[in-house]
Amino acid sequence: MATTSPYGVERRQTIDRREENLHAKTLSVADWIAMILLIVGGVNWGLVGLLNFDFVAQLFGSMSALSRAVYVLVGLSALYTIFTATKMATRSYS
């Protein structure tokens, strides 16, 4: 829909979507924790693949309860990120 300004020039009405995009760019605490855990897991797997060095096992002991907890948390954060990414993808298409 076009409107006419007082100067006789037509101007198109556009919807201001800046406020919608502002909410899409903020990360929750859970998002930050998941991101940090994914980075730790990715760096650890990179070290395992390149140098055959498991940093988490070196830090907490090979398959100790604490290192297994870190591995489980990294896996859960990956599942959380998959869920969040699909939620974001469906929100952008609607």
Residues 7-65 pLDDT 10s = 666 666 666 555 555 555 688 999 999 999 999 999 999 999 999 999 999 999 999 99
Residue in the structure block whose two tokens are 């919608």: 20
Residue 67's pLDDT is 96
Confirm whether pTM is higher than 0.85: no
pLDDT value at position 6?
Answer: 64
Q: Please report the pLDDT score of residue 77 as a whole number.
A: 97
Tell me if 74 sits within 8 A of 39, measured CB to CB.
Answer: no
Q: What's the pLDDT score for residue 27?
A: 85
Decide: 54 and 46 in contact? Cβ < 8 Å.
no
Q: In the predicted model, what is the mean pLDDT of residues 56-75?
A: 96
pLDDT for position 24: 55
